[in-house]
Structure 1
Amino acid sequence: MITGELKNKVDKLWEMFWTGGLTNPLDVIEQITYLMFIRDLDQTDNTRQKESLMLGIPYQSIFADKEHLKWSSLRDKPAENMYQTIMTEVFPFIKDLNGSSGSYAKYMADAIFKVPTPQLLEKIITSLDDMYAYIDKLPDKQDARGDLYEYMLSKLSTAGTNGQFRTPRHIIRMMVELLDLQPGDTICDPACGTSGFLVSAGEYLKEKYLEEIFYNKEAKAHYDNNMFTGYDMDRTMLRIGAMNMMTHGIQNPHIEYKDSLSDQNIDTGKYTKILANPPFKGSLDYDIVSTDLLKVTKTKKTELLFLTLFLRMLKNGGRCASIVPDGVLFGSSRAHKAIRKEIIENHRLEAIISMPSGVFKPYAGVSTAVIVFTKTGAGGTDKVWFYDMENDGYSLDDKRNQIEGSNIPDIIERFKALDKEEDRKRTDQSFLVPKDEIVENDYDLSINKYKESTYVEEEYPHPLEILAEINDLEKEIREGLKELEGMLRG
């Protein structure tokens, strides 16, 4: 998390856009992302040229005879000249890069340069150079760049513009920890947005398996190129998501434009882990949904179709942690029951973590839960672990201020030691429910179906005692009024 001087620099840059006429936070992040990419191209090209000289390996610069398009050349031009060069030459140049410079270049085809004036562009470029110069002095430059980008993305949440708001970072981290990621995993988010889940997965692996991944050539290549896959239908979010991953040190993430629920997505048995908070936008037309998903769950509801999709995309033994609206857990339609039955009977349902309805405030008050399951194809559900999260570490009003007493560390600790949960009672915050009981309840997975409430007996005064107290109060009031009247008559 960035603080102090770097945070102030980002806020000032943001204010430049705001006062310059760009007030949509998605536009601001997109324009900053373009400029960061242009700057990174220059830096990467210079690094590769130096490496080629040291190692005696030939290297063809991507700029070749277009050195004047490099960031280092652009920033020294007069404002008007710089503006025209970026608009008429740099943007067409980066659009023609195709996939030659990593994932991000693939999504530049429909990029639009929106900085309105040369003067504003000059200020922005100076400000970005200032930020990079500051970051270069920090002990861990890569982490600082990642934190900087995360902070910019948090401004999407603050504004909530165009319905773009992210899954809270602490909820993402909880879900990542629940899945116990490994260096050999292949991880997917089929509705990746800004790539928050994939970034958090990468950070977790870096913390836990630093030597196993970063000091092993094959493992590092897997981490950079094949470990992470994300799909989304919004090209702007793809650009931002790809850049988010690259600023967090993942060189070539597989981020792709794809409607995950359609026949475009043919992934089957491909991933060991899926992390997601898919969009629950209501109903889709049958003709745009992949037919093999409809065979399992004939429905138009996206929240049910995505669960079916996860089962198809996972390898046997692969695990999923996904956020679902509460209706998925207790809905009584044939489709709702079908997907719950499919997971419980043919795979292994591990956990249902019920979250407070304020987790996504101020933009959505819907009650949600995290569902965790393993694809087996041969059953395996024995007992399902339920946890009633009451505190996620933030107030449940629109302000979402940080507070003490978060249940998240307790959730992770208990989930990783389920043998100790056997003796917990249904009145506790977490407990196990046998599969047979869930089947008897028509595969209902709502925590309220199984949780028992404790009632504390309260003793109240006898009504005659209360009346006596009221009479005494009235007597005091009358005496007080009489005394006041006497003072006034004086």
Structure 2
Amino acid sequence: MTQITTNIKSIRDIMRKDAGVDGDAQRISQMVWMLFLKIFADKEEEWGLTVEDYQSPIPERLKWDSWASDDEGLTGDSLMEFINNDLFPTLKDLNVQSPQATIIRSVFEDTYNYMKNGTLFRQVINIINKIDFNNSNDRHVFNDLYETILKELQSAGSSGEYYTPRAVTQFMVDMVNPQLGETILDMASGTGGFLTCSIEHVRKQVNTPQEREVLQKSIRGIEKKPLPHLLCTTNLMLHGFDLPAVKRDNLLTMPYSDWGKKDRVDVILMNPPFGGTEEDGTENNFPQKFRTKETADLFLALIIKLLKDGGRCAVVLPDGTLFGEGVKTRLKEELLTKCNLHTIVRLPNGVFNPYTGIKTNLLFFEKGTPTKEVWYFEHPYPEGKNSYTKTNPVDIKEFDLEKSWWYNRVENEYAWKISIDDIRKNGFNLDYKNPETGIENKKLDTKAILEKLDNSIKKGGEIMNLLKQGF
């Protein structure tokens, strides 16, 4: 166990003693806003050396170094009075005159201090002070630890919020292959997995300060809930992102007809909440043919709308989208008409375990040309494994199978293709199973069923006769 891991465990243990912190979500929110302020303080130290005439948006008395860095500084009731009556009110109403001020205000607008015991609060501060976020080793270890913190939030099964496994995120970004200068959007960014993965992918193409600025301006995230937004903003800062990239918003509440060419993007990568429903009236922002309260369906309609011609998307969707009827059928017709849905990767059960057993699919498409055929790839379990667990999740190396096939496609035991004509005849049902598994893709008529039954009976009789001959 690393020293940072030990420190975070100690913070958890201290917070559990505080009567104001009720449950894991509050504990994580409390921990992350405090870490955010320490990270911001360390980043300001860096900006002071690298950014000409840098001016901090935080009043001097509220800077971390002014009230938190001294181990024997403010504590007890005095500390809590400062936090609740000065720090939070000021940061929530911070005058937005710089990108850094925008980040701080957006973080604290819907963030709360849950701790009540100033002595315990001081103990947490003193542990946080042991971490130097300008130290590359500390930052690297904390990035890994941060992933662990995020996984603790993966318990929202009933609301359809499943934080995407890192391997799945990485594979989707690798295959979409965003380029420097392309705008990249995640409309349900959660804790920032797709955004940070895209940043690391594109950063390999950055060689100058000007190109770094291009990258910073190309990332766009939307998250409607306060805690994931806080986590996402902190995650981006840990990945060296200095500009505000994630807005607190819900794009589904904006009229579909208001989105124009200026709003379109090059790349969309996302895992929309599925199984969840939107507030009454949200569906009225969409054309009649797409109206539904199901979140994933509304996001699919908006994805198609917001992609530029030639724009690319990879999105996680449940099996229900593939075989669903009604609005889902009309959405699939829209998708196949306006986009080239070139690949569906069918993931096995348990990829999102232990948070949901819902079967999921990765859809890859490009806007601008209609679909002629859809390739399917059934992702197999690795040898010796028949499920995934919290401690043994899907691994990025498993996707080497898809990657080796991706640019040289042939039908094999994992891959098959279906023509658009067959899909149209099947009522835009995209739920085609792997023919190698022996599962039928089409409904059999009565005559076919009787023929299969008759053949089975004949084979059964032949086997019985052979058995009798052996006695």
Q: Could you tell me the TM-score, scaled by structure 1's length?
A: 0.79
State the Cα deviation string for residues 357-377 of structure 1 (Å, max 9, x = none).
Answer: 21122221111111111111x
Q: Say which of 69, 75, 79 aligns to 1:82.
A: 79
How far did residue 203 of structure 1 move? 2.0
How far did residue 278 of structure 1 move? 0.8
Q: Is the 8 A contact 2:265 2:308 kept in 1?
A: yes
How far did residue 72 of structure 1 move? 1.8
Point out the structure with max Rg over C-alpha. 1
Give the equivalent residue in structure 2 for 1:19: 17
Q: Is the 8 A contact 2:80 2:118 kept in 1?
A: yes
> What is the alpha-carbon distance in structure 1 between the residues aligned to residue 394 and residue 357 of structure 2?
19
Cα distance, 1:148–1:105 mapped onto 2, change above 3 Å: farther
> What is the alpha-carbon distance in structure 1 between the residues aligned to residue 161 and residue 30 of structure 2?
16
SS state of the match for residue 97, structure 1? coil
Give the equivalent residue in structure 2 for 1:442: 427
Give the equivalent residue in structure 2 for 1:382: 372
Q: Comparing both chains, which one has the higher relative contact order based on Cα–Cα distances under 8 Å and sequence gaps of 6 or more?
A: 2
Q: Say which of 256, 274, 279 aligns to 1:280.
A: 274
Give the equivalent residue in structure 2 for 1:485: none
Which letter does structure 1 place at the counterpart of 2:405? R
> Where do residues 100-119 of structure 1 align in structure 2 (5 Å cutoff)?
100=98, 101=100, 102-119=102-119
Q: Is the 8 A contact 2:223 2:247 kept in 1?
A: yes
> Where do residues 350-361 of structure 1 align in structure 2 (5 Å cutoff)?
350-361=342-353
Which letter does structure 1 place at the counterpart of 2:376? F
How far did residue 173 of structure 1 move? 1.1
Verify: 1:232 aligned to 2:226, yes or no. Answer: no
How far did residue 45 of structure 1 move? 4.1
How far did residue 114 of structure 1 move? 0.9
Q: How many residues align?
A: 438
> What is the alpha-carbon distance in structure 2 between the residues aligned to residue 13 and residue 274 of structure 1?
37
State the Cα deviation string for residues 178-229 of structure 1 (Å, max 9, x = none).
Answer: 21111112111111111221112112223xx2xx32x3233211222x2111
Give the equivalent residue in structure 2 for 1:473: none
Give the equivalent residue in structure 2 for 1:453: 437
Q: Is the 8 A contact 2:42 2:134 kept in 1?
A: no
> What is the alpha-carbon distance in structure 1 between the residues aligned to residue 158 and residue 335 of structure 2?
36
Q: Is the 8 A contact 1:24 1:161 kept in 2?
A: no
Identity %: 24
SS state of the match for residue 341, structure 2? strand
| Mean CA deviation greater in 264-273 or 171-180 | 264-273
Q: Is the 8 A contact 1:156 1:164 kept in 2?
A: no
Which letter does structure 2 place at the counterpart of 1:36? L
How far did residue 31 of structure 1 move? 1.3
How far did residue 4 of structure 1 move? 3.0
Give the equivalent residue in structure 1 for 2:92: 95
| Mean CA deviation greater in 75-84 or 314-323 | 75-84
> What is the alpha-carbon distance in structure 1 between the residues aligned to residue 463 and residue 118 of structure 2?
75
> What is the alpha-carbon distance in structure 2 between the residues aligned to residue 145 and residue 398 of structure 1?
23
Q: Is the 8 A contact 1:182 1:205 kept in 2?
A: yes
RMSD of equivalent CA atoms: 3.3
Verify: 1:153 aligned to 2:146, yes or no. Answer: no
SS state of the match for residue 254, structure 2? coil
How far did residue 348 of structure 1 move? 0.8
Which letter does structure 2 place at the counterpart of 1:91? F
Cα distance, 1:460–1:406 mapped onto 2, change above 3 Å: farther
Unaligned runs of 5+ in 2: 440-458
Cα distance, 1:296–1:272 mapped onto 2, change above 3 Å: farther
> Where do residues 170-185 of structure 1 align in structure 2 (5 Å cutoff)?
170-185=167-182
Which letter does structure 1 place at the counterpart of 2:378? D
Give the equivalent residue in structure 1 for 2:302: 309
Verify: 1:429 aligned to 2:429, yes or no. Answer: no
Cα distance, 1:69–1:369 mapped onto 2, change above 3 Å: same
Verify: 1:297 aligned to 2:290, yes or no. Answer: yes
State the Cα deviation string for residues 295-321 of structure 1 (Å, max 9, x = none).
Answer: 552434332221111011111111111
Which letter does structure 2 place at the counterpart of 1:14? R
Which letter does structure 1 place at the counterpart of 2:409? E
> What is the alpha-carbon distance in structure 2 between the residues aligned to residue 264 and residue 343 of structure 1?
20
Which letter does structure 1 place at the counterpart of 2:239? H
> Where do residues 220-369 of structure 1 align in structure 2 (5 Å cutoff)?
220-224=212-216, 226-263=217-254, 266-269=258-261, 270-284=264-278, 287-289=281-283, 291=285, 293-295=286-288, 297-333=290-326, 335-369=327-361
Which letter does structure 2 place at the counterpart of 1:79? T
Cα distance, 1:337–1:165 mapped onto 2, change above 3 Å: closer
Q: Say which of 186, 191, 198 aligns to 1:201.
A: 198
Cα distance, 1:231–1:441 mapped onto 2, change above 3 Å: same
How far did residue 161 of structure 1 move? 10
Cα distance, 1:432–1:267 mapped onto 2, change above 3 Å: same
